[in-house]
Amino acid sequence: MNSSSAILTVDLGAVAHNYNLLKSKCASGCKVAGVVKADAYGLGMEKVWAALESNDCPFYFVATFGEALRLRALTRKPVAVLNGMFGVEIDDAIHRQIMPVINSLASVADWKAAAAKHQIPLPVILHFDTGMNRLGMGADETAKLLSDTSLLKGLDVKVVMSHFSCADEEGHPATPQQYDRFTALTGKFPKAVASLANSSGIFGDARYHFGMVRPGMAVYGLNPTPETSNPMRPVVTLETRILQTRRAKKGEAVGYGASHTLKQDSTLATVALGYADGFLRSLSGKGTLYYKNNPCPILGRVSMEILTSLGPRYKRVYKG
């Protein structure tokens, strides 16, 4: 017996379908990495990994060293940590063959020292910022690194990467600008795999694919092409119960703070879903639920375990 009010269903078949759709967009020599950071976007790393692994995913990215340890228990394939590794994590990462994404010259120095200590070349990924201003070596650090190759002594650069900032906005000028900056960098590392495209970048110019792409949200069913209908298959379904329906009159208020006033007589549905379930309180008065494909707008504030929406039998002309 299932006593839960709300049920979240994850369709691993859809994960596999989406991953293969992304592969079909790329040339055969382009690797499509699996990004399973944040517990595979909150859906469960181990199960999502199994879906990707069964479809020959060759390379994995996580955000933290702790996530990398979980993933290393599952696979011997390359695992890279996007946020880098620090201190005592470095020796453990070397032992477990976990690869760092190096985002700064300070990290270059840390890994160079580790290579000298262990007397082995260490595989690394160099991340260059080309316009995101988030992670990665900026223009000054990049120039310094390129002018002094001795800084990379003992490091085996396997991948050079950057990250698009606006690829989800069709025609945004930042995207080709980042591509040009990144292309200039890749020529400095002819033996390394180049990786630039995120989910939306995969659906852009094929030149953006290089040797590896790193789709994230598209694998999990989110739309990488907001200007068109979603090409990805939905992965997550959230279902819940209607606890009560009622008729309410024009002029009456709904929920805490009386934040919504009805503009006509309406059928309301009280639903077993709230911010305690992770449903955002910021969706108060803005979000929409669906009953048999009929939209049911949320009215008033989202409470801890319940919210109120326009009922499933409301008239389509409702504008309240």
130-135 CB contacts, 8 Å cutoff, 24+ apart: 130/162, 130/163, 130/177, 130/178, 130/181, 130/182, 130/185, 131/165, 131/174, 131/177, 131/178, 131/181, 132/162, 132/163, 132/164, 132/165, 132/178, 134/163, 135/82, 135/83, 135/101, 135/103, 135/163
Q: Is there a domain that residue 196 lies in?
A: yes
Instruction: Tally the C-alpha atoms within 13 A of residue 303's C-alpha that lie toward its C-beta.
Output: 16
> Are residues 91 and 190 located together in one domain of the fold?
yes
Which CATH number belongs to the domain containing residue 81 in this structure? Answer: 3.20.20.10
Catalytic status, residue 37: yes
Domain that holds residue 249: 241-310
Catalytic residue among 23, 31, 37, 158: 37
Tens digits of pLDDT across the chain (320 residues): 455 678 889 999 999 999 999 999 999 999 999 999 999 999 999 999 999 999 999 999 999 999 999 999 999 999 999 999 999 999 999 999 999 999 999 999 999 999 999 999 999 999 999 999 999 999 999 999 999 989 999 999 999 999 999 999 999 999 999 999 999 999 999 999 999 999 999 999 999 999 999 999 999 999 999 999 999 999 999 999 999 999 999 999 999 999 999 999 999 999 999 999 889 999 999 999 999 889 999 999 999 999 999 987 654 433 33
Domain shared by 121 and 254, yes or no: no
Instruction: Check if the beta carbon of residue 128 is closer than 8 Å to that of residue 137.
Output: yes
Token digits of residue 268: 């309301």
Claim to verify: residue 162 and residue 250 sit in the same structural domain: no
Alpha helices, H only, the chain:
12-24, 37-42, 45-53, 65-72, 89-96, 105-118, 139-147, 174-186, 199-202
Question: Quick one: 37 and 104 in the same domain?
Answer: yes
122 and 266 inside one domain: no
Contact 18, 235 (CB under 8 A): yes
256 flagged as catalytic: yes
Contacts of 173 (CB under 8 A, 6+ apart): none
Residue 266: inside a domain, yes or no? yes
CATH number, residue 265: 2.40.37.10
Q: Model's pTM, two decimal places?
A: 0.89
Burial 166-192 (b: 16+ CB within 10 A, else e): bbbeeeeeebeebbebbeebbeebeeb
Active site residue: 47, 144, 153, 256, which one? 256
